[in-house]
Structure 1
Amino acid sequence: MKQLYTLIESTTFLQFPELYKSLSIQETRFQAARQLNKAIAKTAPDIVLAEFFYGFGNNYAGINISNLDVSLHALQRHAPQAKIMVLVDKADRPYVPKLEALFKIDVILTLPVTASDIKTAINGLYKKSPGRGF
């Protein structure tokens, strides 16, 4: 069974637990990046699905560009094979290339997304790699 970590910090994103079950994926949800980072250090996930928020101003100590920088560094260190899926609001979409310049991002989905969008994206992750499917 694949392990999916989701980092959803807003209240607007719909959860899809039944979809994940149908794909034989075990989901672990996090509402804070610190919780996610601790989990990554303990157990490497197969997939991470996280919301992207661009760091306007000094919200992220001036050196990070988004809410995901620290988590993506943790993934590089502890789970470099993990597939990264990023959810982004239309307003923040122009800033995603800055994140991509620093980190490997496998899928970018612009909100709002449906269960079908998530399913297609997850299936696409493993069609790119021969012999790795659901």
Structure 2
Amino acid sequence: MTSAPALPELAYAFTIVAEVDPGLPIERRAGESLEIIPITGGSVSGRISGTVQPGGADWCLYRNDGALNVEARYWIRTDDGDVVDVVNLGRIAPGSAPDAADGLFMSTPQFRTTAPGLQWLTQRVFVGRAEAFGTHTTIDVFEVVA
């Protein structure tokens, strides 16, 4: 019998607070609905700091099997003037996250940037602990450390 592999550790990296407008219904069919939640601004603090730029959005697909798919696409301008592209995917299976009804979910953010000092964002794996509120979503971003 083999033993289970060691679990990776998580190291806190930064927090993103994305301000949002109310969702806009886009499509409804076969028990599913898709809505877009506009991202209007926000802040970033931690290992990087800056602002979430307006113009991004969060696409939420409420599936007919009770699961929820979330795909957010937006960008950050750091306090140093660097630009970071963010794609953040989340998925909630029915019954897998008891707090999901309260707006809590997990995600897998990915980052792109040409900034030399931020290449670590493009080279590592991250997970996010997100919580949605009426006016904003807060994502605590953790680096997965092997």
TM range (shorter): under 0.3
How high is the TM-score relative to the length of structure 2?
A: 0.24
How high is the TM-score relative to the length of structure 1?
A: 0.26
Larger Rg: 2
